[in-house]
Structures are given as structure tokens and as C-alpha cells.
């Protein structure tokens, strides 16, 4: 669905992609999407500190495998990326000054070719991380800790 953009899931001859239409019907896609689970809901504790609990194993697996597939270039950058989302979500961000005004904010470490080596989905202010950052701040010198591999 992300590789070839269409207005919606289409079964009409002029809008659909025959290869995909033959392999997967709309109902089958909805069924898979409805029953797809990445994490065990019964293990979820009452204290919801991680808003991404249900997809955390997927994000962790991606971050673990990104450096194994491609080592990247020497020049790396840390930047934010906003992925368009208009539905309801507690982690959705709104910034009226950006081209994509509503969506999920991701912090990414990428190389000059656009390959992502690590990503983190922004969930709002992290109190424990903010305290750790204050403790490590030495005057006007800021220390940034980035763990890419291992």
C-alpha cells in the first residue's frame, strides 16, 4: 500500500494493480490487519508508561536489524520525520507551521543516502529521560548519547 499510492483500496479494473488484486482481496487484507498482533496484550501492566507497547517488539526488531542490513555512510544526521496520520491517537502531534500538520513524529538517525539506522517514535515528554539529560548537562555543554550498534 505504501509502494504504489492509490486513492483507496480499489477493486476496479482501471485503478487496481492486477498482481495485488489476484493475490489478496480487500476482505482478506482487512482480516489480516484486524488479527495482526505484535505483542501479548495479557502481559500489559496497568501502568501504561509505554504508549507503543503493542508495537514495541516490531520497533525494537527494526532498530536491531537496520545496522545489520546496511552499515551506512560516515556522515550521519539526527532529524525528525512526521508521518501523516489524521485519525485519533494520543501520540499524534500537531504543528500548524509544517507541510504535514498532523501525524506521528519519529526521531531518526540516517545517513546521507536516506537510509535509517535507528528510529524512535515520539510519545510526548519523557520525564525520566529529561531528568537524566539534566543530570548529564554540564553548564552549557550538552552530551548526546547515541547507541547505533550492539
Please indicate, yes or no, whether residues 78 and 13 belong to a single structural domain of this protein: no
Identify the pLDDT of residue 45: 75
C-alpha cell at 15: 485503478
Within a 10 A sphere around the Cβ of 117, how many other Cβ atoms? Answer: 20
Query: Cβ-count burial of 69 within 10 angstroms (0-12 exposed, 13-18 middle, 19+ buried)?
Result: exposed
Single pTM value for the model: 0.66
Give 43's pLDDT tier (boundaries 50, 70, 90). Answer: confident
Please indicate, yes or no, whether residues 26 and 56 belong to a single structural domain of this protein: no
What residues contact residue 129 under an 8 Å CB cut-off, 6+ apart? none
Give Cα 107 distance to the centre of its chain: 9
Please indicate, yes or no, whether residues 19 and 70 belong to a single structural domain of this protein: no
Query: Facing residues of 102 across strands?
Result: 94
Give 1's pLDDT tier (boundaries 50, 70, 90). Answer: very low
- Could you give the 3-state DSSP secondary structure of residue 108? strand
Give 65's pLDDT tier (boundaries 50, 70, 90). Answer: very high
The count of structural domains within the chain is 2
C-alpha cell at 117: 539506522
Task: Give pLDDT tens digits for 80-90.
Answer: 888 898 888 88
C-alpha cell at 48: 501504561
Is 90 exceeded by the pLDDT of residue 24? no
Please indicate, yes or no, whether residues 69 and 108 belong to a single structural domain of this protein: yes
Please indicate, yes or no, whether residues 30 and 91 belong to a single structural domain of this protein: no
Q: Which domain holds residue 79?
A: 51-136
Amino acid at each position: 500500500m505504501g509502494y504504489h499510492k492509490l486513492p483507496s483500496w480499489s477493486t476496479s479494473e482501471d485503478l487496481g494493480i492486477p498482481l495485488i488484486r489476484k493475490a489478496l482481496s480487500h476482505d482478506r487484507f482487512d482480516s489480516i490487519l484486524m488479527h495482526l498482533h505484535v505483542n501479548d496484550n495479557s502481559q500489559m501492566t496497568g501502568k501504561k508508561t509505554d504508549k507503543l507497547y503493542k508495537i514495541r517488539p516490531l520497533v525494537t526488531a527494526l532498530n536491531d536489524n537496520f545496522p545489520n542490513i546496511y552499515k551506512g555512510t560516515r556522515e550521519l544526521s539526527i532529524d525528525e520525520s512526521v508521518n501523516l496520520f489524521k485519525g485519533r491517537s494520543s501520540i499524534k502531534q500537531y504543528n500548524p507551521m509544517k507541510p504535514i500538520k498532523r501525524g506521528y513524529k519519529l526521531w531518526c538517525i540516517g545517513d546521507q543516502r536516506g537510509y535509517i539506522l535507528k528510529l524512535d517514535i515520539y510519545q510526548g515528554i519523557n520525564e525520566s529521560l529529561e531528568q537524566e539529560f539534566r543530570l548529564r548537562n554540564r553548564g552549557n555543554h550538552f552530551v548526546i548519547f547515541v547507541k547505533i550498534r550492539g
